[in-house]
Amino acid sequence: MAELLRLDHVSAGYGDAVVLEDISLAMQEGDSLALLGRNGMGKTTLLVTLMGITRLHGGSLTWKGGDLAAVPTHQRAGRGLGWVPQERYMFPSLTVEEHLTAVARPGPWNVEKVYGAFPRLKERRRNMGNQLSGGEQQMLAIARALMVNPSLLLLDEPMEGLAPIIVQELTGVIRRLVQDSQMAVIVVEQHAKLALALTQQAIVLERGQIVHASSSQSLLDDPQTLTRLLTVA
């Protein structure tokens, strides 16, 4: 598999404030990564840095062999970065189907395939964005990101605030997405064990730095380290 993404000694933040420090990581096509850490440690900042929303203070980001920092934010989805933000951002005046068709780009994911993955969205296809439950909104946020046919899907706390039955349903869908060897996935998740069970690799951030990197399985098998890194003191 070819290298998709590489970060070399990246420092980034908001204005003059540096949040991420000296982040280095690489992903191949089809890889899956759990991005873990306690609240406020920089997980979202890392995702939005990939989307070009932060200020880069140092280091370099390479995407498909080119300089990612040179790609304007509004072109990054078109280059293959699919972002599912924590806030979901539904449009109250668009139907479910309009949310999907508005961003469609050519590739294996189309409206029918997305409805296959999320049958509930097919049932709701004429509903407006503000007529959906939290779980349906999250499904639509993921479905919308898939419609751009990304090479890398960024999921920011996809299970947050959802009922256990919906978490179970979404976990199944995300597992199938991760197993799709074409698309790489980064999952930010407070439910560390859930994210580790879904992914191959894991990193843990603490105060904007990587303090642990390993296979997801080895972190799952090491509950002491997991507790030390993720439990709030």
Ligand X SMILES: Nc1ncnc2c1ncn2[C@@H]1O[C@H](COP(=O)(O)OP(=O)(O)OP(=O)(O)O)[C@@H](O)[C@H]1O
Which residues contact ligand X by CB under 6 A?
14, 17, 19, 37, 39-45
Closer Cβ to ligand X, 33 or 96, answer by number: 33
Closer Cβ to ligand X, 14 or 91, answer by number: 14
Q: Which amino acid is residue 83, in one-letter code?
A: W
CB of 188 to ligand X, least distance (A): 6
- Asked whether the beta carbons of 128 and 161 are under 8 A apart, the reply is no
**Looking at beta carbons, which pairs linking 219-228 to residues 24 or more positions away fall under 8 Å?**
220/193, 220/196, 226/192, 226/193
CB of 35 to ligand X, least distance (A): 9
Closer Cβ to ligand X, 14 or 89, answer by number: 14
Helix, strand, coil abundance in the chain, percent, nearest 5: 40, 30, 35
Closer Cβ to ligand X, 31 or 156, answer by number: 156
DSSP assignment, residue 95?
Answer: B
CB of 54 to ligand X, least distance (A): 8
CB of 40 to ligand X, least distance (A): 4
Q: In Å, how far are 45, 91, 220 from 56, measured between CA atoms?
A: 11, 30, 32
